Amino acid sequence: MTVEPTAAAWPYPPVCGMTWGWVGTRGTWATAAAADSMARMAEHGVNWTALAYSALQETPFSTEIGFLEAPTATDDEIVWAIREAKSLGLQVCLKPVVNCADGTWRAHIGFFDWDVPREPSWSDWFASYRAFILHAAELAAAEQCEMLCIGCEMVRADGQEAHWRALIADVRAVYSGLITYNCDKYQEDHVAWWDAVDLVSSSGYYPIDTWEHELDRIEAVVAASGKPFFFMEAGCPSRTGSPDLPNDWSLPGEPSGDEQLRYYRAMFTACAQRPWVGGFMLWDWPATLYRPEDAGANDDYCPYAKPAGEYLREVYGAALTGARA
């Protein structure tokens, strides 16, 4: 009889996290409004934040990433956000992400499996992506960020194992903190190089009634990898219909804090039974926050001044209290 390996329990204090500042548009960080937003986030019991910002390439077939250009946040703004988070007692994961200016989702960035003369190639793209990620790694090292996320939901790029391994080796030459890669939902078992990172992480936007099934599947991946696991993204818009399609930020529906709360309860309850799930870097908290009196009309992912926000404060508070006991 073959016995499947069991995922080891998470070995660190729980990640009670929230993603902040997306998409990192130049001019929206390092402001009074941004400082207030981050302070309000910290009041919800978070101990980690992912500072997420994007750089643009023109199309999914482009090979140049303009990470030093507008609209990407400047280095000064990124350093400000890191220092602001640390002043609030938060651990920081720096999360540089590539997006396509034409609106194509980054998961579709792709080229021929082999390099062809005079055609855009994976080698060309990774050369530009390497410069982007190494620049972030240098910032993360200088500011002593505890974690660096080297990619997010790059589904077509996931198969470029040799390129990823080379990139990770280059990152480790300049950055000594924890390294993770944020694979997309349903892709946890399609990444062949988990051994190269320190933490396995994914986007946990799973329909409300499928959490147990998906956690069973992910557990086998985590056990085989031998690495700790957490959800680098997870959450649900406060909108009718969203618990069934939490990844669809454009889903039509009416604002509903109760629906978001229902999803949070199901997600946290399911994951609490799995000691190998190290926590969440929930999606997401904007740099410019809406007024609390407008929360009832807000149908986005942020739980501020919504029923899920109060529930989150309770769940994160209990998790950290338990970790200290």
Tell me, yes or no, whether 8 lies in a domain: no
CATH code, domain with 135: 3.20.20.80
Q: At 94, phi and psi to the nearest 5?
A: -85, 130
| Measured distance CA(77)–CA(84) in Å, rounded | 10
Tell me, yes or no, whether 6 lies in a domain: no
Tell me, yes or no, whether 98 lies in a domain: yes
Tell me, yes or no, whether 10 lies in a domain: no
Q: What is the pTM of this model?
A: 0.97
Q: At 226, phi and psi to the nearest 5?
A: 75, 15
Size (the chain), residues: 325
Tell me, yes or no, whether 1 lies in a domain: no
User: Whole domain around residue 106: which residue ranges?
Assistant: 15-324
Tell me, yes or no, whether 145 lies in a domain: yes
Question: Tens digit of pLDDT for each residue in 150-178?
Answer: 999 999 999 999 999 999 999 999 999 99
pLDDT reported for residue 322? 82
pLDDT reported for residue 325? 62
Tell me, yes or no, whether 5 lies in a domain: no
pLDDT reported for residue 4? 63
Alpha helix ranges (H) inside 65-115: 75-87
With a cut of 70, list the residues of the chain below it in pLDDT.
1-4, 325
Question: 169 Cβ partners below 8 Å, 6+ apart?
Answer: none
Tell me, yes or no, whether 9 lies in a domain: no
pLDDT reported for residue 1? 44
Structurally, how many domains does the chain consist of? 1
